[in-house]
């Protein structure tokens, strides 16, 4: 892959600006705000995932007190990277953290960044079954101010267990909205790094591996951190999962379907309100998820050579749940009478009554031709 390096400088009288980057001819407009979350000046360090056009970025930010009137007592920088894929960005987290501290202590010295670029720019990474024609990978170290040591995780997938613990049973509500490809916006004040991981985890809930499924719905891709500069982009998006530190977004209801503030999941759409209620099938799924986790932890203690990943367990749990649902729907749609009954719903691990609205939205979203005959108890 081909790498580029970006350096951001944040003197208060000037504002966010690109201080240095490689290659020098890349368009980085707006990155100076994406790699420093709004409100970051109140914390000491952070990391942030973001999108810039077709690229994904990771930036590490740090803030250091200085005796300088020009900088108003604080030097704040962010060092970041851009890549066509977000899945490998975590590998360079340690480098970015070291470099942002180096830039704070010895500003203007870019030799380590330049050497990193020279070392990486000729490497072309091709995945299995793919040729060597991947788009170039642009790396930017940006300078971000703060870090969250209590929740520091080296890989976005590594936070799936914390994600589940944080939301508890609410994870089943997020799962349904993610599977329906709704526009999900997560609000949190800085630090935003761990919230970017929640964005990633939320997208993982919607994985489906059955062929022929998902052709009529947009791909579930994380937008990660967004700010007011992204409003025009979000206005035309029909599906996304993103996070922000800007409270003003809550008032802009036309931009999202689901708003998450801390552990409070809400929607302003009347037809989506039934999906906010935890039903008996949801509780059963959550019980099974925790039961599988306990079995995994026990197996790790007993079999020292067997170390399956807890995060993989969570991802696989929802993948199998999703495949189970769509496999049943496909079988019913290809049958002669195309009738989906309460028994089918229970077989998919759903509540025939509590998930009726969810099933109706699912059939519409994915364009599956079946007839739902589950009675609504609220109607005669």
312 and 164 within one domain: yes
Q: Is the peptide bond before 351 cis (omega within 30 degrees of 0)?
A: no
DSSP three-state, residue 21 = strand
325 and 224 within one domain: yes
* Domains identified in the chain, total number: 2
The dihedral over CA atoms of 361, 365, 366, 367, expressed in degrees to the nearest 10, equals 90
306 and 245 within one domain: yes
165 and 82 within one domain: no
| Mean pLDDT in residue range 34-58 | 86
DSSP code, position 144:
E
75 and 10 within one domain: yes
Q: Which residues contact 156 (CB under 8 A, 6 or more apart)?
A: 49, 86, 87, 90, 196, 197, 200, 201
Inside any domain, residue 309 = yes
| Mean pLDDT in residue range 373-379 | 62
Dump the DSSP string for 263-284.
TEEEES-GGGGGGGS--HHHHH
DSSP three-state, residue 249 = helix
- Strand bridging mode 258-261 / 143-145: unpaired
167 and 282 within one domain: yes
Inside any domain, residue 262 = yes
Inside any domain, residue 349 = no
Inside any domain, residue 301 = yes
Tokens 């309460």 locate to: 342
3-state helix, strand, coil in the chain (%, to 5): 40, 20, 40
> pLDDT tier at 328 (50, 70, 90 boundaries)?
very high
What are 282's strand-pairing partners? none
Q: Out of 41-55, 151-165, 248-262, give the one with best mean pLDDT.
A: 248-262
What is the residue range of 89's domain?
4-107
| Mean pLDDT in residue range 96-111 | 87
- Strand bridging mode 143-145 / 240-244: unpaired
163 and 100 within one domain: no
296 and 167 within one domain: yes
Question: What does the pLDDT read at residue 223?
Answer: 94
331, 356, 373 - which closes a domain = 331
The CATH number assigned to the domain holding 314 equals 3.40.50.11500
- Strand bridging mode 55-65 / 143-145: parallel
List the structure tokens of 181: 């490809």
Distance CA 38, CA 245 (A): 6
180 and 268 within one domain: yes
Burial level of 166, CB count in 10 A (0-12/13-18/19+)?
middle
> pLDDT tier at 249 (50, 70, 90 boundaries)?
very high
314 and 167 within one domain: yes
313 and 183 within one domain: yes
Inside any domain, residue 127 = no
| Mean pLDDT in residue range 170-174 | 97
Question: What does the pLDDT read at residue 151?
Answer: 35
71 and 180 within one domain: no
Inside any domain, residue 287 = yes
> Could you read off the pLDDT of 134-148 as tens digits, one per residue?
333 333 333 222 222
Distance CA 172, CA 289 (A): 11
Inside any domain, residue 339 = no
Q: Say if residue 156's pLDDT is above 60.
A: no
78, 107, 136 - which closes a domain = 107
Inside any domain, residue 78 = yes
């Amino acid at each position: 892959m081909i790498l580029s390096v970006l350096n951001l400088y944040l003197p208060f009288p000037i504002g966010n600006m690109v201080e240095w980057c490689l290659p020098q001819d890349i368009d980085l407009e707006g990155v100076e705000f994406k790699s420093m979350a709004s409100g970051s000046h109140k914390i000491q360090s952070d990391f942030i995932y973001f999108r810039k056009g077709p690229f994904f970025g990771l930036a590490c930010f740090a803030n250091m007190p200085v005796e300088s009137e020009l900088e108003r007592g604080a030097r704040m920088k962010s060092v970041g990277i851009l890549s066509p894929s977000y899945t490998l960005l975590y590998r360079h987290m340690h480098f970015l953290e070291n470099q942002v501290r180096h830039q704070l202590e010895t500003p203007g010295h870019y030799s380590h960044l330049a050497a990193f670029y020279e070392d990486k720019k000729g490497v072309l990474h091709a995945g299995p079954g793919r040729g060597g024609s991947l788009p170039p990978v642009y790396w930017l170290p940006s300078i971000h101010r703060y870090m969250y040591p209590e929740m520091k995780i080296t890989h976005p997938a590594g936070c799936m267990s914390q994600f589940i613990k944080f939301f508890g049973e609410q994870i089943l509500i997020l799962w349904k909205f993610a599977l329906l490809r709704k526009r999900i916006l997560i609000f949190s004040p800085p630090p935003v790094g761990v919230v970017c991981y929640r964005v990633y985890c939320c997208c993982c809930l919607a994985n489906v591996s059955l062929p022929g499924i998902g052709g009529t719905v947009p791909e579930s891709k994380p937008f990660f951190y967004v700010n007011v500069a992204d409003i025009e982009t979000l206005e035309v998006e029909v599906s996304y999962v993103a996070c922000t530190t800007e409270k003003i977004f809550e008032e802009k209801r036309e931009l999202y379907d689901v708003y998450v503030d801390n552990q409070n999941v809400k929607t302003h759409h009347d037809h989506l309100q039934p999906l906010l209620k935890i039903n008996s099938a949801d509780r059963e799924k959550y019980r099974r998820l925790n039961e599988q986790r306990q079995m995994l932890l026990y197996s790790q203690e007993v079999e020292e050579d067997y170390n399956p990943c807890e995060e993989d367990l969570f991802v696989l749990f929802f993948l199998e749940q999703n495949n189970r649902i769509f496999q049943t729907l496909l079988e019913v749609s290809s049958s002669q009478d195309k009738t989906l009954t309460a028994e089918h719903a229970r077989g998919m691990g759903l509540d025939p009554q509590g998930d009726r609205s969810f099933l109706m939205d699912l059939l519409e979203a994915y364009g599956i031709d079946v007839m739902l005959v589950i009675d609504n108890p609220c109607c005669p």
